[in-house]
Structure formats: structure tokens, C-alpha cells
Amino acid sequence: MNVLLMGLGFFPQNTHFKLLLKNRNIKNIYVYDERPVLLSKFTKKNKVQPIKILELDSIKGKIDFAIIAVERTRTYKYSKFIMSHGINLLSEKPMALSLVQAKKLYKLSKLKKVTYEIGYQKNHDLNFLKIKKNLNNLIKKYGELTHIKLELYGGDFKMKKKTNIRTKEILEPYNFQFPKFLNNNLKINYIIFLNRYLHSLSLFFDLFDIKNFKNISSIKAINFNLYNSLINFLFQKISVVFDFGNHQSFGWHDKLILFFKKAKIELIFKSPMSFKKSEVKIYSDGNLIKNYLFKSENKPLNCFEEQLKQFIHKLKYKKKGNSYLSMKIHEFSDLIWKKII
């Protein structure tokens, strides 16, 4: 397969590109970035083919799919451009920066009959999938699930060795249309919420296998601000408090914490740069206990690596991507905002 990687920022250079090189299904890698100096330096160093946007028409038959990992205000523009050419797309989250944009992209993917996937990488973590598969057994063992918390550690991340190419070129953010129900004071918070917390919502939807939110009868904001948000969801006769915790400390090891009546389970996601599997800890009465379900493995694993495999599998067997669910998560996010403002 031939792939076009759009965006050569820190993570695309150190995760997406490296894992594309590693994948046996990938034959040729084309790259694009708006910054000409960065694009030139990267392609010369890594000996890959640069692509100019104007050339896309002439080579679109040669590209099996594109990966978009650009600055978030540009995601909609390039997603629309790629799918309008009939090219399958794996896009980093968020899908867009407004529900209007998300709906337009989903309709376009259906019109062009392309596989359209949004990169919620943590959903592909093997330990998360194991928790999801065994959730009913965990409830039977530890009691009712009452509270879910996702801690986002948004501090600086440092690498022992800098491997990415940098230039002094600056990209100015694009403007986009905010929802009409927002006032000017909340616009920045809304963007940050979409960028950071849609991933949290996707984990919530995925954990309970929610395909839509029609079965969620009520949403109550117990406490809401950008850095400390407690939302109560009532669905399928089960009420669960979802906590959007945000911790501005050093590191990038986000945590998904499940509170049962008799125990607490912590799923610790490693940094995307560490190429290590997540870690699971189970506590009862405040004490760490042994668990045999989540045995640690020495094998390094990056969530994007697993997501890339699953996306290629969908392409081979012409399966749909997760864009419909992603669009509904955007819709659900707006529903939360309407409830709390």
C-alpha cells in the first residue's frame, strides 16, 4: 500500500512515520507539510517523496490512504480535501472543531464511499480492550461501577534524544465558525475541550459499547469548569459519574480510573513516545492487590501501531471507519455544553 502522511510535527515524525516504516503492508510513503523548509529537510534526511497539494490529482490513484496529523485548526480543511479526491483517510483527533464541520466530513465520506477513521489511539490499547471485554466480570467481582475518571497529565514532555527536525517556520491557526450557543468568553475553552476531552468521551462510549446516545436519559453537570469537570450520565438504568480531570504536571502518562464498590482499577497509558504497553493496577481498601487478568508484557507497543493495523484491515475488507461514532461524540459534547452554560 501507498500512504500519504500530512503533517510533520513532533508526533508525526516520531510515531506515525516510524510506525509506517515498520508496517509490512506499506510500500511507499509520501509526505506533505505546509512548511517548505521542514518538508525539504525531512524528505532529504529520510529519502521519501514529498507531495505538493496541486499534484494530488495526478497521483490520487496511486495512494491507498492518507494520514492527517496537522495542527488541529487545519484538520477539517485537509480532511475535506483528501476525501473529495476519493482517498481513504485516517485522521488524528479531533475530527473537526465544530459539530457542523464533523457532519459535513461524515456526509462527504459517505458520498465518496471512502473509509474514514478518527485516531482515538487509547481505544486501541490492549489493556483497555481487555477491561472492556471483561467489564461484566469485573462488576460481578468488585461490585457496581459508580465513577469513571480520566486524568490528563498535560505537562511538558522531554525526550532523552531529540530526533525530530525543526525549523523556525510558523503556522498561523485557521479561523472557523463557533457554535451559535457559545459566547466569546468560552470559545477558547471550547477548543481546548474538543482537543483534549473528546478522547475521554470516546473511551466512555467505547467502554460501554454505546453506538448512539439515545439510551442516555439525562446529563447532569455536578461540577464543570475546564480543569475539573464532573458529569453524571444516566443510561441503561445505570448512573455513572464521569470526571474530566486535568493535571498540569510533568509527564504524559494519562490514567483511566474505574471506581467499583469494592475496588479501584487504574489503567495507566504510557507516553506515545515510549513505545511501551500500558500498566494496570488494582486497589482494594487502599492496598495494591495482585491481578492475574492484566499480566504485564515486556513487548513494546504503541497504540497507533495497533490502530494502523486495524485501519489497514478495514481497508482490505472494505469495512467502515468510526467516523459516524466520532460525529455523534461531537454531538454529545455540544449537548454537554448546552446543559452547563
pLDDT per residue as tens digits for the range 224-233:
776 678 888 8
* Lowest mean pLDDT, pick from 101-110, 143-152, 162-171, 226-235: 226-235
Taking the C-alpha atoms of residue 25 and residue 341, their distance in angstroms, rounded to an integer, is: 48
Alpha-carbon dihedral 153, 307, 303, 205, rounded to 10 degrees:
50
Choice between 203 and 223, residue whose per-residue pLDDT is larger: 203
> Using alpha carbons only, what angle is made at residue 300 by residues 120 and 166, rounded to the nearest 5 degrees?
65
- The residue with greater pLDDT, 145 or 181, is 145
Q: What is the DSSP secondary-structure string of 71-134? A: -GGGHHHHHHHHHHTT-EEEEESPS-SSHHHHHHHHHHHHHHT--EEEE-GGGG-HHHHHHHHT
Mean pLDDT, the chain, rounded, equals: 86
pLDDT value at position 243? 86
List of domains in the chain: 2-120+309-322 (3.40.50.720), 123-290+329-340 (3.30.360)
Instruction: Report d(CA 191, CA 193) in Å as an integer.
Output: 5
- What is the predicted pLDDT for the residue at 163? 66
Q: What sign for the dihedral angle of Cα 7, 11, 12, 13?
A: positive
List strand residue ranges (DSSP E) for the chain, in order: 2-6, 28-32, 49-50, 65-68, 88-92, 116-119, 145-153, 216-223, 228-235, 238-247, 255-260, 264-268, 279-284, 287-289
Query: For 18-22, 51-55, 146-150, 216-220, which range has the lowest pLDDT when averaged over its residues?
Result: 51-55
CA 125-279-203 angle, to 5 degrees, is 40
The DSSP H or E segment spanning 227 is none
For the cut 70, the answer to whether the pLDDT of residue 257 exceeds it is yes
